[in-house]
Structure 1
Amino acid sequence: MFSSSSYDRFGGRSRGGYTATRRGSGQGRRSVAPATPRSPSPPIGLVLTTIRYSELEADQASSSDAKITGLEDVASYNWLKANEPTIMTPGKPPKWTPTARPTKLAEDNPNGIYYRDQNAAYFPSYPMEPVVRSIFEERPDFNAQEVDVFGCGSTFGNLLRFARNVETEKPFRFLVEAVGETVFFIRRENSPKEVITDIRGYGHSFPEANTTWDADLQSSNSHQRIIRYQLGHLNTIIRFEADGYLTEKVPEKKTYASAENREVNEDFLVSALAANTISAHTPKNSDSLKVTRGQGSVPQSAVFDLKTRSIKKKHNDTTISDQIPRLWIRQISFFVLAYHDRGLFRSEDVTVHNIEPDVARWESDNKGDVRKLIGLIKKIADVVKDTPRRKLEVRYRYGLGLELREQVEGVASVLPNDLAARWADQGDRAESIAVAVGNSSVDGAIGLEDDSIEKGVPLDEKIVNALDDDDDEYDWDKKEDYTACSMESCNYCGHCSY
């Protein structure tokens, strides 16, 4: 329900470039777009083994612990609109500020650019680097080797569907790599700048009109969260994009940024505006990631997910129940469901649901599937740790199960040298090890003296991008090649010109 303090706001707030994971419009009316050429699939290695659902066994070690426990906020960051890849950490999602009276919104721009994965689109070299940078920035003494598995919400969602025997014709693939004792799952698209085509509905315009970025975050494109929990006996880290937060759910605790941090942020915004760098455009291709310090964070308990649906679907709608498994992975407690009549949103048709009891009930009713998910993750982790290079690629195809394949030569490591060394050695010996492997930029990982972090060289020398994505809602029949290189010779390195 709309709060009494809400107000009408149209325009004046820049929040473009959302990925479609934010906005399932639910529009039954969807035009048929002309066929577009698909991006060529990156090369793939030989099959090592195949996992089929019929062979999937529940992890008996987790039979009494088939649940998520110990939820913990780890870090967060916002992608900022700038000419170079820039994040602010810690970050905050936009706050829920619903309009007070019925509002008629324009449909989403069908020709807008909505990336499937902003992390890959903005920083194709190492889409997981911003995640790890933000963790070490917020927690310099973070014990990385306590983590068993590290991935994005989308990849875990795909594995959960497989463990639940939810057959889908939608293929997916992801890279797997062991760094120290942690196994990383990194989503992989055909191109880092894959977009959702033929956008329809109000899944972008509605949050534009009903959420607001704080003053210091006006240049934000998206908010990314990193949480940790025990999935059975697996210490797990998940990254996902959050749609917003409820101000009334944030504890009344004043947080202060240091004068130095305030100056850094103000200087960054002023210089960006002066150079006209804050825009809806994608940053220029760059091998370096700029990190600026944020001024506060929001607890996971205040975060919400959001969907819009046509009023025609209001009765007997299964949207909430359909979303529960996805929200269970992300441990989100609130869900905003907004119905519209051809773009007209009324307050009585927009509701904030506390779905924490629904998530808990789903977990209790699906312990067998949870055990299978834990067993599946453990099997993949065991296989990758037994391979000489400690790398794999996993591909799912309808009717063929999960294929665990060799990772082809030339694919980039999940992290640049400095971060890989620091993660594997908990920071104690990161500098000496990084120097030994030829990394000249350890200082950027150990401390953020100048807000700008330069990456080390890749472990494999030959770079092929590994994608991580948080988008569960794709139009898999419509893909375009947004690379400017010749795909005949490109192994999808992420370093060509876009």
Structure 2
Amino acid sequence: MTGGRRNTGGYGQNFEKTFTTPVAGLESSSSHHRVIKYRLGFLICAVRFEIDAQYGDPNAPGVQSDVARDLATGMGHLALQAPVLPNHKAGSIRAALGGTPVPASRLAELKAKKKVQISQVMPQLWFSRTPYVIIGKHVDGRVEDIICTHAAERFDGWEAQHQASLRRLVDLLAWLREKVRGMKRERATLLYDESGGDLQMLEGSTGRGELEAVLPDDVIKKYWTRRR
């Protein structure tokens, strides 16, 4: 298996380090994230998620040649390595093409658990469309067995079983979208207390938001149209 490295602590991190190997050229990477788009009810959602590893032979036939070239071409069109905006600051975010495209059919989530209960991770796998879950069954941190499950085979059944909850989620997301659109800066924070109580929505302040905290100003100006 090949995967990224994370600094989250716990048995899960050590399990990943021991049973995965970074692909050539990406040894210094800290994590791997993907963004997928799909329809959830009447909503079109863009979902970002983290992937721990790819399962299977990384050299097996898949999206290697044409897709790799198309991806490289598309990345080149972004022109992030040579911004045309003036006053480009040193140390700004730059995109670097590297590694090999990995088909979605090989993505895997890694877990270190004392008890194997696939049902506990099914929501995460379903929403991210991650087909495999690999669980290291351990006793006090010592992995004694590894169980690999092709969770994608269970997606249809899980979806059918949770239709009522998924419909309520779609309604909630649609309601939140309309509420945020009605706010001056179209930005809000949703608070949930696990001990109980109602959801709280706090309108975004005038400070720097999540986007501005991650990306430099020149990239935001070039790729996002901000409405004030």
TM-score range, shorter chain: 0.7 to 0.9
**CA distance 1:255–1:381, change in 2 (3 Å):** same
Contact 1:391 1:406 in 2 (8 A): yes
Match of 1:320 in 2: 118
Provide the secondary structure at the position in 1 that maps to 2:133.
strand
Question: Residues 241-279 of structure 1: CA distance to partner in whole angstroms, max 9, x if unpaired?
Answer: 101011348644543878xx8xxxxxxxxxxxxxxxxxx
Q: Which of residues 323, 338, 344 in structure 1 aligns to 2:136?
A: 338
Q: CA separation in 2, counterparts of 1:205 and 1:335?
A: 16
> 1:232 and 1:359, CA in 2 relative to 1: closer, same or farther beyond 3 A?
same
SS in 2 for 1:374: helix
- In 1, the alpha carbon distance for the partners of 2:150 and 2:170 equals 27
Q: Which residue number in structure 1 is paired with residue 198 of structure 2?
A: 401
- SS in structure 1 of the partner of residue 108 of structure 2: strand
Shift of 1:391: 2.2
Q: Which runs of 5 or more residues in structure 1 are unaligned?
A: 1-5, 7-14, 21-113, 115-198, 262-285, 425-436, 438-458, 461-498
Q: Name the CA distance, whole Å, in 1 between partners of 2:210 and 2:91.
A: 14
CA deviations 1:131-186 (Å, max 9, x no partner) are xxxxxxxxxxxxxxxxxxxxxxxxxxxxxxxxxxxxxxxxxxxxxxxxxxxxxxxx
Distance 1:291 1:247 in 2: 28
Shift of 1:287: 6.5
C-alpha separation in 2, matches of 1:253 and 1:387: 43
TM-align CA RMSD: 3.2
- Give the alignment of 1:35-50 within 5 angstroms: none
Q: Secondary structure at the match of 1:361?
A: helix
Residues 38 and 44 of structure 2 are in contact (CA less than 8 Å); yes or no, is this contact kept in structure 1? yes
Match of 2:103 in 1: 299
Give the aligned partner of residue 217 of structure 1: 26
Contact 1:325 1:359 in 2 (8 A): no
- What's the CA shift for 1:215? 1.3
Displacement after TM superposition at 1:239 (Å): 1.1
Describe the SS at the equivalent of 2:209: coil
Which AA in structure 2 matches 1:233? F
**Residues 254 and 422 (structure 1 numbering): CA distance in 2 closer, same or farther, change over 3 Å?**
closer
1:240 aligned to 2:49? yes
> Secondary structure at the residue paired with 1:206?
helix
Partner of 1:422: 223
CA distance in 2, matches of 1:231, 1:387: 24
In the alignment, the residues of structure 2 paired with residue 231 and residue 323 of structure 1 have an alpha-carbon distance, to the nearest angstrom, of 19
User: How does 1:429-444 map onto structure 2 within 5 Å?
Assistant: none
> Is the partner of 2:192 in helix, strand or coil?
strand
- TM-superposed CA distance for 1:305, in Å, is 0.5
Alignment partner of 1:377 is 2:173: yes
Give the distance between the partners of 1:214 and 1:324, measured in 2 at CA: 27
Distance 1:255 1:243 in 2: 24
1:255–1:296 contact (8 Å) kept in structure 2:
no
Structure label with greater radius of gyration: 1
Indicate the residue corresponding to 2:77 in structure 1. none
- Alpha-carbon deviation of 1:299? 1.7
Q: Unaligned stretches of 5+ in structure 2?
A: 73-89
Q: Cα distance, 1:240 vs. partner?
A: 1.2
Matched, 1:206 2:15: yes
**C-alpha deviation, 1:413, in angstroms:** 6.4
Q: Deviations over 1:31-84 (max 9, x none)?
A: xxxxxxxxxxxxxxxxxxxxxxxxxxxxxxxxxxxxxxxxxxxxxxxxxxxxxx
Aligned to 1:81: none
Corresponding residue of 1:290: 94
Residues 288 and 418 of structure 1: CA distance in aligned 2, closer, same or farther (over 3 Å): closer
1:410 is aligned, of 194, 207, 217, to 207
What is the identity, as a one-letter code, of the residue corresponding to 1:228? K
Q: Following the alignment from structure 1 to structure 2, what is the Cα–Cα distance between the partners of residues 361 and 379?
A: 27
CA drift of 1:368 comes to 0.8
Q: In the aligned structure 2, how far is the partner of 1:413 from the partner of 1:220?
A: 22
Aligned equivalent of 2:79:
none
Structure 2 CA distance for partners of 1:334 and 1:291, relative to 1, 3 Å: same
Asked if the contact 2:53/2:107 (under 8 Å) is kept, the reply is yes
Measure how far apart 1:422 and its partner are. Answer: 3.4
- Aligned partners of 2:31, 2:182: CA distance in 1, in Å? 37
Separation of aligned partners in 2, 1:219 and 1:213: 8
CA contact (8 A) 2:190 2:199 kept: yes
Does the CA-based 8 Å contact 2:63-2:102 persist in structure 1? no
* Deviation >6 Å, runs of 4+: none
| Structure 1 residue identity aligned to 2:169 | L
Determine the structure 2 residue equivalent to 1:255: 65
CA contact (8 A) 1:227 1:239 kept: yes
Distance change in 2, residues 1:417/1:396 (3 Å): farther
The equivalent residue for 1:356 is 152
Amino acid at match of 1:395: L
Note the alpha carbon deviations across 1:322-378, whole angstroms, 9 max, x for none: 1111211111111101113444434xx212101113222111011111010000000
Higher relative contact order (CA 8 A, sep 6+): 1
Per-residue displacement from partner, 1:446-493 (whole Å, max 9, x unpaired)? xxxxxxxxxxxxx88xxxxxxxxxxxxxxxxxxxxxxxxxxxxxxxxx
- Note closer, same or farther for the CA distance 1:391–1:300 as it changes in structure 2 (3 Å cut): same
